[in-house]
Amino acid sequence: MKPILPGAPWLIAHKSMLGVNKPNKITLNGKDYVLWQNQKGEVFALNNICPHMQAPLSEGWVCQERNTITCPFHALEFDRNGRLYKEEKVDTKPLTQSLELIVKDDCIWTYGGFEPRLPISEDLISKISSEYDFIGVTETKIIRGEFLNFLLTSYDFNHQKGLHRDSFAIVGNKISNFQENGYYPSLDQEFTIARHSLADIIKYPAVLTMPKILKLRLEYCFPSVTVVFGKLSIGNLVQVFLVYPENEHQSKAFAILFANFKYGMTKFLLKDSLLKATEKIIEQDTNIIENSYPREKPKIRLPNEEIMFYAEKLYREW
């Protein structure tokens, strides 16, 4: 496939998603990799195709003592550099490629083997993780649709009172202070929240923490990161939304949550509900992309759409 945004930094996983000494399969820009984390918290990635008879290494297992991945087919072992391990020693030459990873604040970034064209947004995430408590990571959601369509939804400021009205009771949305700032746009957003239905409250108790006027600050790191800082009635919530292209027809999205709550217990009481509510937002965005008809030139223009066109321009002129 023609790679999507080659040289862009992609945040492909949070360490808590990987487990320990367990192979995980990650697909990025049409290539499959096996990722594993050892008991020291170090993370490694190799091309997922076994150089013997092309079995998927991610179906194999990790040897803790030797820090190798074993192929499920003939049990050949490869070390972190893709070198064959046999008779108590490793070959000198790698037989399969390793994928370079950058691990910072438990976040795993990669350029997918391309020459980096933008620095990773490690400062923003470092700042968040030093100022807020880590809450958790949502389930990963597969989006069957073009990467650009999902990207544009993150920069679309007219869909909240349509798509996210259900469950979140968003009835108004004001935008101010949009700054282009190259690949790092930012803006302030203000939602008007209606009364939540009893059904929503039962399903997502966290919606009760949304004040009538919910103030948000959005900071983007194009193309993969959208950070939403929200002022809830019980403290501040940070949702780091992430997306990366698996191939030209499919992407993956997830979110990492941080918070500073006034009362320590809140974090434990609301953790699951906050994660579930965030998963719902991703699901609503995904559903509309998967169910919409092919894009045509719009016959109607809405306010603030220039933000979406700005993101589209960054994508097309990459």
Q: How far is the CB of 160 from Fe ion (least distance, A)?
A: 6
**Is 70 or 278 the residue whose CB approaches ligand FES more closely?**
70
**Is 279 or 285 the residue whose CB approaches Fe ion more closely?**
285
In whole angstroms, give the CA distance from residue 274 to residue 178.
Answer: 27
Q: Which two tokens mark 253?
A: 């999205």
Q: How far is the CB of 47 from ligand FES (least distance, A)?
A: 12
**Is 81 or 140 the residue whose CB approaches ligand FES more closely?**
81
**Is 73 or 178 the residue whose CB approaches ligand FES more closely?**
73
Burial of 219 (0-12, 13-18, 19+ CB in 10 A): buried
Assess contact for 212 and 273: CB atoms under 8 A: no
CA angle (191, 254, 315) in 5-degree steps:
80
Q: How far is the CB of 190 from Fe ion (least distance, A)?
A: 16
**Does residue number 146 form part of the binding site for Fe ion (CB under 5 A)?**
no
For the chain, the farthest-separated pair of C-alpha atoms sits apart, in whole angstroms, at 68
Helix (H) or strand (E) holding 302: none
Q: Which two tokens mark 109?
A: 């970034």
Q: How far is the CB of 25 from ligand FES (least distance, A)?
A: 15
Cross-sheet strand order for the sheet of 24-28:
24-28, 31-37, 43-47
**Residue (of 101, 103, 113) closest to 7 by Cα position:** 113
**Is 84 or 206 the residue whose CB approaches ligand FES more closely?**
84
If contact means CB under 5 to 8 A according to the sort of partner, which of ligand FES, Fe ion, none does residue 71 touch? ligand FES
Assess contact for 20 and 37: CB atoms under 8 A: yes
If contact means CB under 5 to 8 A according to the sort of partner, which of ligand FES, Fe ion, none does residue 13 touch? none
Q: How far is the CB of 281 from Fe ion (least distance, A)?
A: 6
Chain residues binding ligand FES by CB under 6 A are 50, 52-53, 55, 71, 73-74, 76
If contact means CB under 5 to 8 A according to the sort of partner, which of Fe ion, ligand FES, none does residue 53 touch? ligand FES
**Is 49 or 225 the residue whose CB approaches ligand FES more closely?**
49
**Does residue number 285 form part of the binding site for Fe ion (CB under 5 A)?**
yes
**Does residue number 106 form part of the binding site for Fe ion (CB under 5 A)?**
no
Burial of 38 (0-12, 13-18, 19+ CB in 10 A): middle
CA angle (187, 279, 208) in 5-degree steps:
75
Q: What is the CA radius of gyration of the chain?
A: 21
Q: How far is the CB of 98 from ligand FES (least distance, A)?
A: 16
**Does residue number 279 form part of the binding site for Fe ion (CB under 5 A)?**
no
Binding site for Fe ion (CB under 5 A): 285
